[in-house]
Structure 1
């Protein structure tokens, strides 16, 4: 069954404000909830945060007071949505447990997008990034066992493997080599636009999460690991945001944001296993349909274009959280030793890469390596992994 959000009517904006009782959602049970329910929550939190940040930036660059008032009205509802979504996360879960879930989102969301992306250049960008998030999951899993004496398996529940990816120490690149070539807004597949906006938003939320929670730890190695991976997330946001065509007008971007929210809420409503959470996805979808209608009207009035010129006439197949073990293992076998050079990818440790490695590591082991050494010392020579079968070598970049 096709679903065209451009033809649907949602809840009128003046009926969307919720009171405190309605916003006081009951969080999921961290020990009994479907891990992918938590992944969907984390994803939609990132999407709503991006919606709010984009709206604020739009307002700061818009001279039309009436448009700014319209953005403020919609943005308030987006902020209520963000509070309802993010407050579904359980207070019982530790920061590290939530971190493990963030990295599970990064692995399985990015891997699914890479599998479905129709543009080969954009596909490569997602394939490259997922191997780095995969390694972050492994590093945090070892920290989790050291500090909380629990295994990441209780969080990912066998849906996502925990083992080394492209080593985090190789993620530190010259910033100019994190900037990719953008898609062409006039010819890009509408699905490619949704993918880029989704992954950019998810990585941005991860970056913000780590920069805020990292200093809350007392253990020096924990503080240092969050600092290191937080800087890599800055690289990832640069990597993904540069895929978006900077020639898109503010009105076009607004429509893309609202359409993407409809796409994701619809996708997650279709697959959600928790009836209570599913009801929230459905409610928010009906709110977003009205936000999309408003954005489309603004684009018609101020950009002189119809939304059909920008977005697909119907939603694509639903975005799905599902295991991607075989796909990630294939990438481990074929792409683990890649790095970036300009807007492309190479297997050689080129001069700019080596210069950055020396500048940030200074000849010392970074926290991401020391966490494994400390785990081995604590657990008599072993490190934490949770995988289905077999081992994978971890090659270095060729010099």
Structure 2
């Protein structure tokens, strides 16, 4: 069954305002909720935050008072959506537990997008980034057992493996090598635009989250690990945001944002296992349909274009959270030693990369390495969650990375 948001009407804007009782959502149960329900919550929070930040930036560059008022009206309603979504996360979960869930989102959402992406260059961008998020999940999981004496398998529930990816210490690159070539807005597949916006939004939310929660820890190694990975998230946001064509007008980008929100709420409504949360996705979809129509009106007024010139005639297949273990292991076997040079990828360390490594590490082991060493000292081994037994190729890759000048 096809679904075209442009042909659907939702809840009228003047009927969307919710009172405190309606916004007072009950959080998910951290012990019994589907881990992918939590992933969908985290994803939609990132999508809503990006929509809000974009709307504020547009308003600051828009001289038209009527347009600013329309943006403010929709933005306030989306602020309510963001509060309802983010407040679904349970307060009893620690920041580190939420962090592990953030990295599970980064791994399985990015892996799914990479699998579905039709453009080879964009696909490579997602495959490159997901191996780094995969390693972040491993580093934080080791920290979690050290600090809270619990295992990450309780959070990821075996849906996502916890084994080393591309070592985090090699993620530090010169900023020039984090900028990619953008897609061409005139010829790119509509799903490619949605993919880029989705992953950029998710990584931006992760970056912001680490920026704020990192210094709240007392343990020095925790503070240092958040600081290191927080800097890498800056690189990831640069990596993904540069994929978006800067030639898109403000109004074109606005309708892309609203269309993407419709797409993801529809996707999660279709795939959600929790009936109560499914109802929230459905409600927000019906709100977003009218936000989209409002954005389309602004596109017609300011760009003189119809939304059909910009948007896909129907939503693509739903975004699905699902295990990607085999796909990730294939990437580990074939791409773990990649780094970037300019807008491309290489396997050998180059001068600019090595200079950055020397400057950032200063000849010392970074927090991402020390956390594993400390875990081994405390428990005798590092923490890993493998659902398919030992992975000999991965072990070989680790040895290659540690014993040579290759990445």
- TM-score interval for Structure 1 and Structure 2 normalised by the shorter chain: over 0.9
Residue deviations 1:129-187, cap 9 Å, x none? 00000000000000000000000000000000000000000000000000000000000
Distance in 2 separating the partners of 1:20 and 1:348: 56
TM-score by length of 2: 0.97
Residue deviations 1:19-61, cap 9 Å, x none? 0000000000000000000000000000000000000000000
Write out the 4+ residue segments of structure 1 that deviate beyond 4 Å after TM superposition.
Answer: none
Q: Secondary structure at the match of 2:286?
A: helix
Distance in 1 separating the partners of 2:258 and 2:225: 35
TM-score by length of 1: 0.99
Deviates more, 1:385-394 or 1:242-251: 385-394
Spell out the pairing of 1:1-399 with structure 2 (5 A cutoff).
Answer: 1-380=1-380, 382-388=381-387, 389-391=389-391, 392-393=394-395, 394=398, 395-396=400-401, 398=406
Distance in 1 separating the partners of 2:331 and 2:175: 24
- 1:301 deviation in Å? 1.0
Distance in 1 separating the partners of 2:77 and 2:278: 19
Q: Secondary structure at the match of 1:340?
A: strand
Distance in 2 separating the partners of 1:352 and 1:57: 34
Q: Secondary structure at the match of 1:75?
A: helix
Distance in 2 separating the partners of 1:10 and 1:253: 21
Q: Secondary structure at the match of 1:363?
A: coil
Q: Secondary structure at the match of 2:182?
A: coil
For structure 2, which runs of at least 5 residues remain unmatched after alignment? none
Residue deviations 1:93-143, cap 9 Å, x none? 111100000000000000000000000000000000000000000000000
Distance in 1 separating the partners of 2:301 and 2:4: 22
Distance in 2 separating the partners of 1:203 and 1:375: 27
- 1:197 deviation in Å? 0.1
Distance in 1 separating the partners of 2:280 and 2:30: 18
Distance in 2 separating the partners of 1:9 and 1:262: 12
Residue deviations 1:172-205, cap 9 Å, x none? 0000000000000000000000000000000000
- 1:398 deviation in Å? 1.7
For structure 1, which runs of at least 5 residues remain unmatched after alignment? none
Residue deviations 1:182-239, cap 9 Å, x none? 0000000000000000000000000000000000000000000000000000000000
Residue deviations 1:236-277, cap 9 Å, x none? 000000000000000000000000000000000001011110
